[in-house]
Structure 1
Amino acid sequence: MTAIAGSNSQSATAGHPTITTLTLTQYSSEIVLQLDGFAASFTHSVAVPLMRAERRARDSHLEKAHDKNLTNQHIIRHIDPMEADIENLLVWAKSQGIEINGCSPKQLHGRGVGIVATRALEANHVILRVPTATLRSLANTPRAITARLPGASVHALLAVSLCLDLASPSLAAWRAVFPSRADIRAALPLCWPSELRALLPPSASARLARQSAAFHRDWASVEAAAYDSAALTKDEFLYAWLLVNTRSFYHATRFTAKRPKEDHMVLQPVADLFNHAGDAPGGAFCVGSFDDAAFTVTTRAAHAPGDELFIQYGPHGNDFLLVEYGFTLPSPLNDAWDETSLDPYLCPALAAAGHRTVLEEAGFWGQYMLDRETACYRTHVALRALCLTPLQWRAVLDGERDEDRDRARVEAALVAVVLRPAEEDAAAHIRDVDEATAGEALSRQALRDRWVQIMELLVGMRQKLESQ
Structure 2
Amino acid sequence: MSSFPVAIGREHHAFRKWSIDRGVQINGIEAGVMPGQGMGIYATRDIEENEVVLQVPLSAMLTIDSMPKDFVAKFAADAPVQGIMAAYLMIASEKYSQSTSAPGDDDLGEIENEYDIRPWLDVLPSKQDIKRSLPLVWPDKFKKWIQIDMNDSAVNQHEETGNSDSSRANKRRKVSGGADYGDVLLTPCLSGLWNTLPNAAKGPSYDRSKHQHILSRQENRLLRTWDFVSAALPDADWDTFLYYWLIINTRCFYYDGSMAGEGDPRSQGKSLDDNDSIAMMPFADYFNHTNKPGCKAQFDGQQYTFLTTKKHVKGEEIFVSYGQHPNDFLWAEYGFFLDENDSDTLYLDDIILNDLTSADLEELQGWQYLGNYQLFAGEVCYRTEMAACLKHMPRDDWRAYVYGESTQSVDDEKTARIIKEWICKYLEECEAALKALASQDSNDDPSQTDDNVDYREALCVKRWRQIRDLCKRTLDAYIQ
TM-score, normalising length from structure 1?
0.77
1:202 to 173, 182, 188: 188
Query: Letter of the aligned partner of 1:189 in structure 2?
Result: P
Residue of structure 2 in register with 1:139 after alignment? 65
1:272 to 279, 282, 285: 285
Aligned counterparts of 1:187 and 1:426: Cα–Cα separation in 2: 21
Match runs of 1:27-426 below 5 Å = 82-150=8-76, 151-167=78-94, 168=96, 170-198=116-144, 199-205=185-191, 206-228=213-235, 232-254=236-258, 255=264, 256-257=267-268, 258-260=270-272, 261-278=274-291, 280=292, 284-331=293-340, 334=341, 336-351=342-357, 354-402=359-407, 405-416=410-421, 418-426=422-430
User: C-alpha offsets along residues 12-46 of structure 1, whole Å, 9 cap, x if unaligned?
Assistant: xxxxxxxxxxxxxxxxxxxxxxxxxxxxxxxxxxx
Residue of structure 2 in register with 1:461 after alignment? 474
Aligned counterparts of 1:176 and 1:224: Cα–Cα separation in 2: 28
Query: Letter of the aligned partner of 2:435 in structure 1?
Result: R
1:242–1:128 distance in 2 versus 1, CA, 3 Å:
same
Superposition deviation, residue 126 in structure 1: 0.6
Aligned counterparts of 1:223 and 1:375: Cα–Cα separation in 2: 44
Residue of structure 2 in register with 1:54 after alignment? none
1:133–1:404 distance in 2 versus 1, CA, 3 Å:
farther
Instruction: Give secondary structure in 2 for the equivalent of 1:392.
Output: helix
Superposition deviation, residue 409 in structure 1: 1.3
Instruction: Give secondary structure in 1 for the equivalent of 2:39.
Output: strand
1:299–1:379 distance in 2 versus 1, CA, 3 Å:
same
User: C-alpha offsets along residues 50-76 of structure 1, whole Å, 9 cap, x if unaligned?
Assistant: xxxxxxxxxxxxx9xxxxxxxxxxxxx
Residue of structure 2 in register with 1:448 after alignment? 461
Aligned counterparts of 2:118 and 2:230: Cα–Cα separation in 1: 26
Aligned counterparts of 1:404 and 1:143: Cα–Cα separation in 2: 65
- Contact 2:257/2:301 (8 A) holds in 1: no
- Contact 1:188/1:322 (8 A) holds in 2: yes
Aligned counterparts of 1:222 and 1:292: Cα–Cα separation in 2: 29
Instruction: Give secondary structure in 2 for the equivalent of 1:465.
Output: helix
- Contact 1:315/1:337 (8 A) holds in 2: yes
Q: How many residue pairs get matched?
A: 378
Deviates more, 1:433-442 or 1:130-139: 433-442
User: C-alpha offsets along residues 104-123 of structure 1, whole Å, 9 cap, x if unaligned?
Assistant: 11112222001011111111
Instruction: Give secondary structure in 2 for the equivalent of 1:104.
Output: strand
Aligned counterparts of 1:401 and 1:379: Cα–Cα separation in 2: 19
Aligned counterparts of 1:106 and 1:80: Cα–Cα separation in 2: 7
Query: Letter of the aligned partner of 1:340 in structure 2?
Result: L
Could you tell me the percent identity over the aligned residues? 31
Cα RMSD of the aligned pairs, angstroms, is 2.0
> Which protein has the bigger strand share?
1
Instruction: Give secondary structure in 2 for the equivalent of 1:114.
Output: strand
Aligned counterparts of 2:34 and 2:122: Cα–Cα separation in 1: 16
Superposition deviation, residue 402 in structure 1: 4.0
Instruction: Give secondary structure in 2 for the equivalent of 1:370.
Output: strand
Query: Letter of the aligned partner of 1:363 in structure 2?
Result: Q
TM-score, normalising length from structure 2?
0.75
Q: Which has the larger radius of gyration?
A: 1
Instruction: Give secondary structure in 2 for the equivalent of 1:148.
Output: coil
Superposition deviation, residue 81 in structure 1: 7.5
User: C-alpha offsets along residues 164-215 of structure 1, whole Å, 9 cap, x if unaligned?
Assistant: 1125363332223211101111111110123202432222221111110010
Deviates more, 1:393-402 or 1:205-214: 393-402
Superposition deviation, residue 403 in structure 1: 9.2
Superposition deviation, residue 404 in structure 1: 11
Gaps of 5+ in 1: 1-62, 64-78
Superposition deviation, residue 398 in structure 1: 1.0
1:81–1:286 distance in 2 versus 1, CA, 3 Å:
closer
